[in-house]
Structure 1
Amino acid sequence: MLLFKVSLIGVLFASISFCSYQTHTLNLLISLEAVMLCLLLFSFSISSMFGMSSHLFLVLLTFAACEAALGLSLLVSMLRLRGNDLVTALSSLSF
């Protein structure tokens, strides 16, 4: 039950940090990874509390790995094109 509460509090704080730190892309990616880590913890605690299988945990782990790889590749390409990782540079349409 403690793991369940910790994961819910973690999702709340990670979501707040995702919404508040919107200047750099790296900050957004780290906050997004924190949200995914807390969701993984949440799915693991739910599956262990109710005795379910861990298929949801494995699916979320796969999505988290793909999201991290895609985010880092976008960050590297944005740094090569723009020279910075500001979110405002990402939202402009002029390449």
Structure 2
Amino acid sequence: MSLMLLFFFMIFLSGLYIFSSFRKHLLLMLLGLECMVLSIFYYVFLYLSFLNYEDYFLIIFLILSVCEGALGLSVLVSLVRSCGNDYVFSSSLFVC
């Protein structure tokens, strides 16, 4: 059990590293955020299954994470259509 928790913690740290080191590209930042959300989902799943609680919170968490991913992809598509690239700091997000 502790090896699995260590593995999910390493997934979270790798997602945090990706999010903080690849700040130029919006797509890589979104992938890092999704990696962190996935590891948090596994932590919550293990916690709820260990304490024998209901899993309704997991459904709500997955719905919110899917909405977050869809919102991030829509921002990415609008940025690529307006500016031509996904560089975050190359220009302002509103004026290209």
Query: Normalising to structure 2: TM-score of the pair?
Result: 0.86
CA contact (8 A) 1:18 1:32 kept: yes
What is the deviation of 1:58?
Answer: 1.4
1:35-62 Cα distance to aligned partner (Å, 9 max, x none): 1111111111111111111122112101
- Aligned residue pairs total 94
- Structure 1, gaps ≥5 residues long: none
Residue in 2 that maps onto 1:9? 10
Amino acid at match of 2:84: G
CA contact (8 A) 2:26 2:86 kept: yes
User: Alpha carbons of 1:93 and 1:34: their partners in 2 closer, same or farther (altered >3 Å)?
Assistant: closer
**CA–CA distance in structure 1, aligned partners of residues 6 and 59 of structure 2:** 21
Residue in 2 that maps onto 1:28? 29
User: Alpha carbons of 1:6 and 1:94: their partners in 2 closer, same or farther (altered >3 Å)?
Assistant: closer
* Structure with greater helix percent: 1
1:60-95 Cα distance to aligned partner (Å, 9 max, x none): 1011100111111111100111001001046x2661
- Structure 2, gaps ≥5 residues long: none
RMSD of aligned residue pairs (Cα, Å):
1.6
Q: How does 1:1-95 map to 2 (within 5 A)?
A: 1=1, 2-89=3-90, 92=92, 95=95
